[in-house]
Chains A and B, each alone.
Chain A
Amino acid sequence: MNTIALKRVLLMSLKSFFRNSWLSLTGTLVMIITLLIISFFFILSISVNKTADSLKEKIDIVVYFKDSTSDDQIKEIERLLLSRPDVKEVNFVSKEAAKARFEDMGGLDEDLSDVFTDDENPLPRSLEVKPIEAESIEVLNSYLDGTSFNPLIKKISYKDNKATIDRLIKITRFFTQAGLIMSGIFIIISFFIIFNTIKLTIFSRKDEIEIMRLVGATDIFVKFPFIVEGMFYGVLATIIAGMVTYSGYRLVVPAINNYLEGIDVGLGQLIGSNLFLIIIGQLLVGIILGSVCSWWATRRYVK
Chain B
Amino acid sequence: MEKVIEFDKVTKVYGKEVAALKEVSFSISDSEFVTLVGPSGAGKSTLVRLLICEEKPTSGKILVAGRDITTLKLKELPYFRRRIGVIFQDYKLLPKKTVKENISFALEVAGIGDKEINSRVEEMVDLVGLSARIEALSEELSGGEKQRVSIARALVHNPKLLIADEPTGNLDPVATWEIIELLFKINKSGTIVLLATHDREVVDALKKRVVTMRAGEVVSDQEKGKYIL
Residues of A whose CB lies within 8 Å of any CB of B are 1-2, 4-5, 8, 207-208, 210-219, 221
Contact = CB atoms under 8 A, between A and B. Distances in A.
A28 to B, nearest CB: 23
A211 B92 contact: yes
Given A1-B111, A2-B111, A8-B108, A215 B81 contact: yes
A215 B159 CA distance: 11
A208 B105 CA distance: 10
Interface string B69-94: 00000110011111000100000111
B106 to A, nearest CB: 4
B174 interface: no
A281 B157 CA distance: 46
A255 to B, nearest CB: 50
A216 B110 contact: yes
B113 interface: yes
B153 interface: yes
Nearest to A218: B78
B105 A215 contact: yes
A216 B79 contact: yes
9 contacts: A210-B92, A211-B92, A212-B105, A212-B109, A214-B92, A215-B110, A216-B79, A216-B82, A216-B157
Contacts of A215: 81-82, 105-106, 109-110, 153, 157
Most buried by B among A4, A210, A215: A215
Q: Which of B78, B105, B110 has the most CB of A within 10 A?
A: B78
Contact of B86 (A5, A208, A212, A214): A214
Interface residues of B, number: 23
Contacts of A208: 94
A219 B78 contact: yes
B113 A217 contact: no
B53 to A, nearest CB: 10
Nearest to A212: B109
A50 B207 CA distance: 89
Given A215-B82, A215-B106, A5 B92 contact: no
B94 A221 contact: no
A96 to B, nearest CB: 85
Contacts of B86: 214
A99 B157 CA distance: 96
Contacts of A1: 111
Nearest to B84: A216
Nearest to A205: B94
Contact of B94 (A4, A8, A207, A218): A207
Given A207-B92, A215-B105, A215-B106, 17 more contacts: A4-B112, A4-B114, A5-B111, A210-B92, A211-B93, A212-B109, A213-B78, A214-B81, A214-B86, A215-B82, A215-B109, A215-B157, A217-B109, A218-B75, A218-B78, A219-B74, A219-B78
B110 to A, nearest CB: 6
B77 to A, nearest CB: 8
B132 to A, nearest CB: 24
A217 B92 contact: no
Contacts of B114: 4
A155 B92 CA distance: 90
B52 to A, nearest CB: 8
A216 B81 contact: yes
Nearest to A12: B108
Contacts of A213: 78, 81
B68 to A, nearest CB: 19
Contacts of B82: 215-216
A214 B79 CA distance: 11
